[in-house]
Amino acid sequence: MRKPFVAGNWKMNTDIASALALARDIADRIGRLDGIDVAVCPPFVYLHAVADALSSSNIALGAQNVFFQPNGAFTGEISAAMLKDLSCTYVIIGHSERRHVIGETDDLINKKISAAINNGLLPIFCVGELLEQRKAGKTSAVVTEQVKKGLAGLCTERIQAVTIAYEPVWAIGTGINATPEQAQEVHAMIRDLLACLYDKTIASNLRIQYGGSAKPDNTAQLMTQPDVDGLLVGGASLKADDFASMVETAVKIKTGSN
């Protein structure tokens, strides 16, 4: 039985006051919920303050990126050990905005995943196709290649630290979410691929989140899909009400409780 997992990706939003207010609001509403893992991923510069605001809740802290080197002359970069220092549990790696706006490659993403795990962080590893790739019938090929390259060299033990987030690029921030059937199809394909790359137990234990215009009004339909184990939420995670209601819906559907 996979524990549902909902994470909020705040992207490059909030300021110190609104980040703290949002974290406190989320902690007040859903900070004691059982049966689900919840994380928020604020900008690097607010991690420390948000960690304090979440300290008496069950909400975990995540970062939005990490560099693979342990330390040294890498101006502007942040290491996995630094994120651990700030109480991060999770780190988003390979988000489509980093792939397509910043130009991150599968090879770089693979190094980041490895460095994160080596330092005790749990990667949320994002994959997803562009609209033209979907239209050309290449979704499965694109996602397969991203998964294979991103996880290259990760042994059976280390892969268990990973959550995969399927985020079709055309659905991110557009208001157009993948249909529950489209999400389920790709999630099932990823799980089959994991069974080939590793084994059936790993494939059935690993959590796969959906991301891309997930909102309160489509959460139930998405979470009802058997291979959708949670959500990576962008825009809607900036509103405590919306995020809390999505988390409550997710746990209700997957566990029938709360």
Residues near ligand PGA (CB under 6 A) are: 9, 167, 172-173, 211-214, 232-236
Cα torsion through 236, 242, 245, 250, rounded to 10: -10
Q: What gap in Å lies between CA 16 and CA 33, rounded to an integer? A: 26
Q: What gap in Å lies between CA 100 and CA 224, rounded to an integer? A: 30
Helix orientation angle between 180-197 and 216-223, rounded to the nearest 10 degrees? 50
Shortest spacing between CB 238 and ligand PGA, in angstroms: 9
Q: Which position's Cβ is nearest ligand PGA? A: 234
DSSP state of 81: H
Catalytic one of 95, 97, 104, 248: 95
- In the block, tokens 């975990």 appear at 60
Contact yes or no for 179/170 (Cβ under 8 A)? no
167 is catalytic: yes
Closest to ligand PGA by CB, 61 or 233: 233
Catalytic one of 97, 167, 187, 248: 167
Shortest spacing between CB 175 and ligand PGA, in angstroms: 8
Shortest spacing between CB 10 and ligand PGA, in angstroms: 10
187 is catalytic: no
Shortest spacing between CB 173 and ligand PGA, in angstroms: 4
Q: Which residues are catalytic?
A: 95, 167
